[in-house]
Amino acid sequence: MYKIVIVRHGLSVWPDKFTGWTDIDLAPEGIAETLKYGKKLKELGYSFDLGFASMLKRGIKTLWKALDGMDLNWIPITYAWQLNERHYGALQGLNKAQTVEKYGKDQVQLWRRSYDVRPPAVDVNDPMHPSHDPRYKDVDPSLLPSGECLKDTYNRAVPYWQKTIEPLIKQGKKILVSAHGNSIRAIMKYLDNLSEEEIVGVNIPYCIPLVYELDENLKPIKHYYLASDEEVQRVIEGIKNQTKKK
């Protein structure tokens, strides 16, 4: 049996905005919670040989803080744009509740939770387009998104998982992955063979480690969070309420 641990980044300073590829930081609460769960991983006897993170600050710092809690800051880390959050196109930076007021709850829900409906695209000439970001200078510009649906995120995250991470799991490497709500949902769809209808109803809590136990063919035996059901649900409910006006 193999194990791999996946964690969604901690709470960011933009919980009420569409973030996507915008490179915003963790909130103090997100840092503290991530460190707490890193220490919990250590207490439960987990250890890792390798770390993987997106190329976004909140994903990177979540991995750093988790490893800090485990005294594993020294292990090799790979940063991969394929693990980035879904690109929210022209919605990035907009307040979620105000966007609901402008476009209506149903339309925003469609952009947020459908499998194959993209948000309005950001223009390639916009300074916020990823083609103008130096961290992606070595990525084929045709691969950089202007706006993505979950299907698009699946089509970049899952091939990366298959090509890069799965061979390492088979080698017996113990791996911690820090990613984002939608890139993790894409991986879960693949691992659990979920339908398009099933995956849109899946919610991922911030910074609570998700453990997958895999058989010799890397098919899931089971998966579980390292927290009580009540704690997981509390965090998920907070995420669901982000589009509600305060």
User: Hey, CA dihedral for 27, 30, 32, 38, is it positive or negative?
Assistant: negative
Residues 6 or more apart whose CB falls under 8 angstroms from that of 23 comprise: 56, 57, 58
Crossing angle for the helix pair 28-43 and 57-70, to the nearest 10 degrees: 40
What separation in angstroms does the CA of 9 have from each of 55, 61, 112, 116, 186?
12, 8, 18, 24, 15
Which of the following is catalytic: 29, 33, 43, 85?
85
Which of the following is catalytic: 9, 87, 129, 180?
9
101 CB neighbour count, 10 Å cutoff = 13
Say whether 9 is catalytic: yes
What separation in angstroms does the CA of 192 have from each of 141, 188, 207, 210?
31, 6, 21, 13
85 touches 147 (CB < 8 A): no
Helix residue ranges, H only, the chain: 28-43, 57-70, 96-103, 105-113, 150-160, 166-170, 181-192, 196-199, 229-240
133 Cα distance to chain centroid: 20
Annotated catalytic residues are 9, 85
